[in-house]
Amino acid sequence: MTLSNPENDRLPPACLERLERLKHCRVTDVHFIKSTLAGVLEDLCEPTGDRDFARAGRDLYQQPAGRPAVDDSKAIEEALFLFEQGEAPTLNNAFMRVAGRLVGYSDRRRMRSTAERLRKKYAQMQKAST
């Protein structure tokens, strides 16, 4: 059984110096905070021998998983307007027309998938309002 040495259990000086910089930064300095924390995690990787610290530092710069959110509220409003004004015989037809304007009428596959996305978001809005 080995007893730990309190001197070896302290954060490396490089980590402490980097963390000291965070004292005076603002929450809105996101890039600075991320780069500082990534450096601290990288510095912790060597003395601990744990590569998870380095991986966590790299993860700070990763894009979030999945497709970026698209604000379709105006497109849904436009489709509802077309349907309510009688310019589109069905709500589905209104979504297809709006989708055609958004992605172009020449690409039918993208047009259908965009209309489907609008339909799903509209259904979610309806479900949330009840």
Alpha carbons 102 and 68: distance in angstroms, whole number: 17
Contact by Cβ (8 Å): 41, 54: yes
- The CA distances from residue 89 to 76, 80, 83, 97, in Å, are 16, 11, 7, 11
Q: Which two tokens stand for residue 89?
A: 């015989």
Sign of the CA dihedral 66, 70, 73, 76?
Answer: negative
pLDDT digit string (tens) for the chain, length 130 residues? 344 555 566 788 888 888 888 888 888 888 888 888 888 898 888 888 888 988 898 888 787 778 788 899 999 999 999 999 999 999 999 999 999 999 988 899 999 999 999 999 999 999 988 7
pTM recorded for the entire structure: 0.53
**In the chain, domain spans:** 13-59, 73-129
